[in-house]
């Protein structure tokens, strides 16, 4: 016999102002089941979770929770006022008989001691304290709204293991694809006020969602054709000319309404970036740089070379010095030793993790225009600021809205809009994925993939790094940083483990060194004649490829070419694609050989 749901929501409806946010939404949760709740920003996910938690009463529908079942809800903005310290706040959520040692255990793994004064906590620290309070009593049901926000990678990996091991039923809202895929076994999709359920975890959701949307698109096309046929009949049919068939006319109106219902959606983000002039081939060349603050070493003897078009991910625990490393690589901070050479013609645009560039009383208009003209110039084309903000899902009536009144997701989109409106050839993004929904993340990833410049990104989102990064720089602790080609998963394969606490890699290396016998020095490796020849000739080949690409782009830029000679236009496009591929291979080969040469000489 199938188990009865421990929590169920049936036919839930809720109107906020003039917007019907939820309409016949449903969700059920079995004991121990782990469910992903997904949907666009603004679709009502957090509201549905609050209804499940009993914090909001819907306009209609039914909420059922098994008698005696305990439930805990992770709030996005927890209130810790009135508690002497963080430990007291966490313990206040526990009941008699709960293991109070667990509160300390959770806080320590989340980077807190429990002695912190709630009045002095940052937003991230308050969220971590709230997460400990939710998990400490091990309730029957746990509702988590963006639990990975403000957590570093070691804490995210620890939280995954913790949630896998507990018996509680879970409903999770998160933008972290890897986190959802690893944890969940069912998915509820909230879309245009209603819900659909997939009895698979998030790993199978996106393929299923795309299939559903394709079926909707097919249905729209069928309706469009039927509407055209009915309109033709109304206009030209013999009966129609003599006497309108009211019943058939009513059917047409119904078809049109059905078409409108199918088309109704929450909107789509369209992300574009203002491109600056092309930078030099070499963007950053850092050699043996070190930086310390007092006795604390942040960076020690680190070298890297960043070439135009690279997408470099920087990852590590909170406090490892990721922001300091970025400042060293971009010339904002001078190293204590070593050298940093910046390339020519660099135009940097930066997104900071704390959104410090936005003040609470700033309006949307002021945020993107700086209080100046209403017109922005995006890639050489003038665009009204509100038209630009519409691409980021802001309505015209929000132009005068203060930043303080925006949701976390809206602030995230506004910061992106602000940064991407600046002409640049180097993007420096510190935690750009915070508060973005999955669809907006997809578009951001596509934009970064098409961006002709260079990207340096700090992120704790493993899937995002896999999709975007061409290499990752990882903190090993004690100021040591190591660069690996590829994304996060490639790093794990090469390294043998993920991101751990800063001291763990150093300790492991020390133990390994102590245990391993000392090997005799190996014979010095040398470049082969073929490798030396390639290293000398590849730069000239690369220059030829770049010149040919510039020539072909100029040909294709002729607006009359396609009309005048379609075949010439098509042939030029094919040749361009081929030359771009050859350029990429030549650059990759040169970089590999150059890295090998440095390794041998170093």
Q: Strand runs (DSSP E) across 30-136, as ranges?
A: 34-38, 60-65, 71-74
Closest listed residue to residue 37, CA positions, set 12, 60, 66: 12
pLDDT at 469 over 70: yes
How many structural domains compose the chain?
Answer: 4
Q: What is the pLDDT of residue 333?
A: 92
Whether residue 276 lies inside any domain: the answer is no
Could you tell me the two tokens for 461? 């989102």
Domain boundary pick from 207, 228, 243? 207
446 contacts 294 by C-beta, under 8 angstroms: no
Whether residue 273 lies inside any domain: the answer is no
Closest listed residue to residue 459, CA positions, set 473, 477, 442: 473
Say whether both 349 and 494 belong to one domain. Answer: yes
Say whether both 588 and 537 belong to one domain. Answer: yes
Q: What is the pLDDT of residue 337?
A: 95
Closest listed residue to residue 291, CA positions, set 228, 245, 340, 224: 340
Say whether both 434 and 545 belong to one domain. Answer: no
What DSSP element (H or E) covers 43?
none
Say whether both 305 and 435 belong to one domain. Answer: yes
Give the C-alpha separation, 133 to 72, whole Å. Answer: 9
Say whether both 418 and 433 belong to one domain. Answer: yes
Give the C-alpha separation, 387 to 364, whole Å. Answer: 12
Say whether both 220 and 203 belong to one domain. Answer: no
**What value does the CA radius of gyration of the chain take, rounded to a whole number of Å?**
28
SS3 of 392, please?
Answer: coil
Q: What is the pLDDT of residue 505?
A: 40
Query: Token match 């603050």: residue?
Result: 293
Tell me the mean pLDDT in the region 252-263. 51
Where does the pLDDT of residue 357 fall: very low under 50, low under 70, confident under 90, or very high at 90 and above? low
pLDDT at 248 over 70: no
Say whether both 331 and 364 belong to one domain. Answer: yes
243: domain range? 210-263
The set of residues, in sequence order, having a beta carbon less than 8 Å from that of 394 and lying 6+ positions away, is 364, 386, 410, 413, 414
- What DSSP line would sit under 256-288, residue for residue? HHHHHHHH--S--------B-SPPPSEEEEEEE
Give the C-alpha separation, 538 to 326, whole Å. Answer: 30
Say whether both 235 and 327 belong to one domain. Answer: no
Give the C-alpha separation, 65 to 129, whole Å. Answer: 26
Tell me the mean pLDDT in the region 126-152. 92
Whether residue 74 lies inside any domain: the answer is yes
Say whether both 342 and 472 belong to one domain. Answer: yes
Say whether both 402 and 446 belong to one domain. Answer: yes
Domain boundary pick from 458, 473, 507? 507
| Residue 324 vs residue 360, higher pLDDT | 324
What tens digit of pLDDT does each residue of 499-517 get? 764 344 444 344 334 433 4
The set of residues, in sequence order, having a beta carbon less than 8 Å from that of 450 and lying 6+ positions away, is none
- What DSSP line would sit under 341-352, residue for residue? EE-SS--EEEE-
Instruction: Return the ∠ at Cα 316 (arms to 307 and 494), rounded to 5°.
Output: 70
CATH number at residue 590: 1.10.287.380
Could you tell me the two tokens for 200? 């698979």
pLDDT at 559 over 70: no
Where does the pLDDT of residue 149 fall: very low under 50, low under 70, confident under 90, or very high at 90 and above? confident
Mean pLDDT of the chain: 81
109 contacts 101 by C-beta, under 8 angstroms: no
For residue 472, the cross-strand partners are: 313, 484
| Residue 413 vs residue 514, higher pLDDT | 413
Say whether both 229 and 198 belong to one domain. Answer: no
Whether residue 490 lies inside any domain: the answer is yes
Could you tell me the two tokens for 116? 């912190």
> Is the entire prediction scored with pTM above 0.85?
no
pLDDT at 528 over 80: no
Number of C-alpha atoms within 13 angstroms, CB side, residue 261?
12
Say whether both 195 and 224 belong to one domain. Answer: no
The set of residues, in sequence order, having a beta carbon less than 8 Å from that of 536 and lying 6+ positions away, is none
486 contacts 462 by C-beta, under 8 angstroms: no
């Amino acid at each position: 016999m199938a188990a009865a749901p421990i929590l169920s929501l049936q036919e839930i409806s809720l109107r906020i102002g003039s917007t019907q946010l939820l309409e016949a939404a449903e969700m059920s949760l079995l004991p121990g089941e782990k469910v992903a709740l997904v949907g666009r920003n603004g679709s009502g996910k957090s509201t549905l979770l609050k209804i499940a938690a009993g914090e909001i009463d819907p306009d209609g529908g039914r909420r059922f929770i098994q008698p005696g079942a305990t439930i805990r809800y992770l709030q996005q903005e927890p209130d810790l006022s009135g508690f002497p310290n963080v430990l007291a706040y966490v313990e206040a959520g526990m009941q008699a008989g709960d293991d109070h040692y667990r509160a300390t255990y959770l806080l320590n793994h989340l980077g807190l001691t429990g002695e912190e004064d709630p009045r002095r906590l940052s937003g991230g620290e308050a969220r971590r304290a709230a997460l400990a309070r939710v998990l400490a009593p091990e309730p029957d049901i746990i509702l988590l709204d963006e639990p990975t926000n403000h957590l570093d990678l070691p804490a995210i990996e620890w939280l995954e293991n913790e949630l896998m091991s507990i018996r509680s039923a879970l409903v999770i809202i998160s933008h972290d694809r890897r986190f959802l895929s690893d944890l969940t076994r069912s998915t509820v999709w909230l879309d245009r006020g209603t819900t659909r359920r997939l009895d698979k975890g998030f790993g199978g959701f996106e393929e299923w969602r795309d299939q559903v949307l394709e079926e909707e698109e097919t249905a729209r096309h069928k309706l469009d054709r039927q509407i055209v046929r009915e309109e033709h009949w109304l206009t030209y049919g013999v009966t129609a000319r003599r006497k309108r068939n009211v019943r058939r006319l009513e059917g047409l109106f119904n078809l049109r309404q059905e078409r409108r219902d199918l088309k109704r959606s929450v909107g789509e983000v369209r992300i574009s970036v203002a491109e600056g002039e092309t930078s030099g081939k070499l963007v950053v060349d850092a050699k043996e740089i070190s930086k310390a603050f007092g006795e604390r070493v942040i960076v020690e003897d680190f070298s890297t070379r960043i070439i135009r078009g690279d997408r470099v991910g920087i990852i590590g625990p909170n406090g490892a010095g990721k922001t300091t490393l970025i400042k060293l690589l971009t010339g904002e901070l001078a190293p204590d030793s070593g050298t940093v050479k910046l390339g020519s013609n660099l135009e940097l645009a930066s997104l900071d993790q704390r959104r410090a560039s936005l003040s609470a009383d700033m309006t949307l208009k002021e945020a993107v225009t700086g209080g100046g003209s209403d017109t922005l110039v995006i890639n050489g084309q003038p665009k009204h600021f509100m038209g630009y903000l519409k691409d980021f899902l802001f309505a015209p009536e929000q132009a005068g809205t203060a930043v303080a009144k925006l949701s976390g997701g809206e602030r995230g989109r506004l910061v992106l809009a602000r940064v991407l409106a600046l002409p640049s050839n180097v993007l420096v993004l510190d935690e750009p994925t915070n508060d973005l929904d999955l669809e907006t993340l997809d578009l951001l990833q596509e934009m970064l993939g098409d961006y002709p410049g260079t990207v340096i990104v700090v992120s704790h989102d493993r899937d995002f790094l896999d999709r975007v990064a061409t290499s990752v720089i990882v903190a090993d602790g004690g100021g040591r940083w190591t660069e690996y080609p590829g994304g996060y998963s490639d790093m794990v394969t090469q390294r043998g483990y993920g991101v751990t606490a800063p001291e763990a890699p150093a300790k492991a290396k020390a133990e390994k060194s102590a245990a391993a016998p000392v090997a005799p020095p190996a014979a010095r490796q040398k470049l082969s004649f073929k490798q030396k020849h390639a290293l000398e000739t590849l730069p000239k080949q690369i220059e030829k490829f770049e010149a040919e690409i510039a020539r072909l782009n100029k040909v294709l830029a002729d607006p009359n070419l396609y009309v005048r000679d379609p075949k010439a236009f098509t042939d030029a496009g094919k040749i361009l694609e081929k030359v771009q591929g050859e350029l990429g291979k030549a650059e990759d080969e040169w970089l590999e050989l150059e890295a090998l040469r440095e390794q041998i000489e170093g």
